Amino acid sequence: MITMTDQADDTKHSAILGGIRVADLTTGSFNYAGRLLAGLGAEVIKLETLDGDPLRQWGPFRNDEENVETGGRHLHLDAGKRSVSVDLETSEGQSIVKDIITDCDIVLESFDPGYLDTIGLSFESLVSSKTDLIMVSMSHFGQSGPYKDYHGSEIVDVAIGGYLRLTGEPDREPVKPYDDLVIQHTALHAATAAMVGIMHRDNTGEGDWFDVAVIDAALFLIGGPTQSYFFDGKVAQRNGNRLLTTEPRYLYPSTIRPCLDGYVHAHGNNRNQDLLAALMPGIGLETLFETPMGNADEIDEIMDTWLSTRDKFEVVTLAQELRLPFTEVLTPEEILADPHLEERNFLVKLEHPLEPSLLQPGQAALMSETPWINRRAPLIGEDTDEILEELLGMNENDRTDLRNKGVIR
């Protein structure tokens, strides 16, 4: 029997989005949308500036040596794409991009609202040439509303989207979540919208324009606290590593605690709180379970004594045997050696001209009948000649002329 893990490497089956072509004009972490579509088999053409997408300037870099071709974020978020390097500020560059888009099914973009109008690439302009075009526009505040022209960033988005006030210790200022998680969550919404657009097009023959805003995605992600306020007027508070719920009788622990060699996420069993006392016998936990969240400080103090003499893998093994959902907090080194990820073929090695045997995340999902496609990220403009010839029928002399003018790289 072929398992899902085996199937991930079986390229005899067609990719689920095979035959779909995407023009990707996103920058930064918004590139995650195109990364997902490329993994699902779409041909994603990354349309970037002559100097490359600014994402290429983000680290990490091997040995801290900056190189626009080998930044870790670019290698991950642009994996599987093809690159055309073109100057969008020139009329000829705009014409090239418009012609490429005419041969695409989907456009992904993350420019400031209104910018594409100024260069003749608005949805209205494009759909007049291709009536079934699907465009997905990502921005911090959306294409409409009083904030649409504001500049945004991840910390701005999590602040206005309601996420920021919920992170950190209760007696301290809010703490920004690591990295661009909310922006990448927005890009996940965008990838979903693109696939819904394909379904709508196939059913009706019509295109569609999707407006995906980061602040909307942030609020969608944390809907619970907002609903709580709407229904009963309760305002969720920061609670550090613990659950947001502070009701004294609510389940506890659910927190991060130190061990001999690191940290574990300690979590009680919803149906049998006494299992925690079975894991850590004879240290006085039993008397605290009537109001576990109300005794959270005492439970932490008692657990810490027991945990401080044991390594995290031992703790998790003992807890899982009792059906307690403890987990280790893994270091990067431990993640790369994790046997579970190894068995699922999650980390893959890709050959890159400047990064031999590049190791990076593989499939976002294992599928039983269709493969996830793993390919390296492109060099700046690596596919310019091939795509201009394939899609636009542009000969070498024409390309050389455009290169001499600084329109393409």
The amino acid present at 186, given as its one-letter code, is T
Q: Do 306 and 390 share a domain, yes or no?
A: no
Check if the beta carbon of residue 165 is closer than 8 Å to that of residue 139: no
Q: Do 383 and 300 share a domain, yes or no?
A: no
Q: Do 213 and 278 share a domain, yes or no?
A: no
Q: Do 156 and 215 share a domain, yes or no?
A: yes
Give me the pLDDT at residue 205, please.
96
Question: Which CATH number characterizes residue 37's domain?
Answer: 3.40.50.10540
Q: Model confidence at 6, in pLDDT bands (50, 70, 90)?
A: very low
Kindly state the percentage of the chain with pLDDT values over 90: 79
Residue 334 lies in a domain: no
Q: Which domain holds residue 121?
A: 4-221+345-404
DSSP result, 200-229? HHHHHS--EEEEEEHHHHHHHHTHHHHHHH
Residue 337 lies in a domain: no
Q: Do 110 and 183 share a domain, yes or no?
A: yes
Radius of gyration of the chain (CA): 25
pLDDT in tens, 277-297: 999 999 999 999 989 999 999
Tally of domains within the chain: 2
Q: Model confidence at 61, in pLDDT bands (50, 70, 90)?
A: very high
Question: What does the alpha-carbon distance between residue 209 and residue 213 come to, in Å, rounded to a whole number?
Answer: 13
Q: Do 307 and 367 share a domain, yes or no?
A: no
Q: Do 77 and 215 share a domain, yes or no?
A: yes
Q: Which of 277, 300, 328 is the last residue of a domain?
A: 328
pLDDT in tens, 337-357: 999 999 999 999 999 999 988
Q: Which of 294, 328, 362 is the last residue of a domain?
A: 328
pTM: 0.92
Q: Do 317 and 217 share a domain, yes or no?
A: no
Q: In 130-180, which residue ranges form alpha helices assigned H by DSSP?
A: 154-160
Q: Which of 328, 362, 384 is the last residue of a domain?
A: 328
Give me the pLDDT at residue 106, please.
98
Does residue 224 carry a pLDDT above 80? no
Q: Model confidence at 145, in pLDDT bands (50, 70, 90)?
A: very high
Residues 297-310, buried b or exposed e (16+ Cβ, 10 A)?
A: eebbebbeebbeeb
Q: Do 51 and 169 share a domain, yes or no?
A: yes
Question: What does the alpha-carbon distance between residue 363 and residue 356 come to, in Å, rounded to a whole number?
Answer: 20
Give me the pLDDT at residue 7, please.
41
Residue 338 lies in a domain: no
Q: Do 214 and 109 share a domain, yes or no?
A: yes
Q: Do 11 and 155 share a domain, yes or no?
A: yes
> In angstroms, what CA-CA distances link 139 with 23, 29, 125?
17, 11, 20
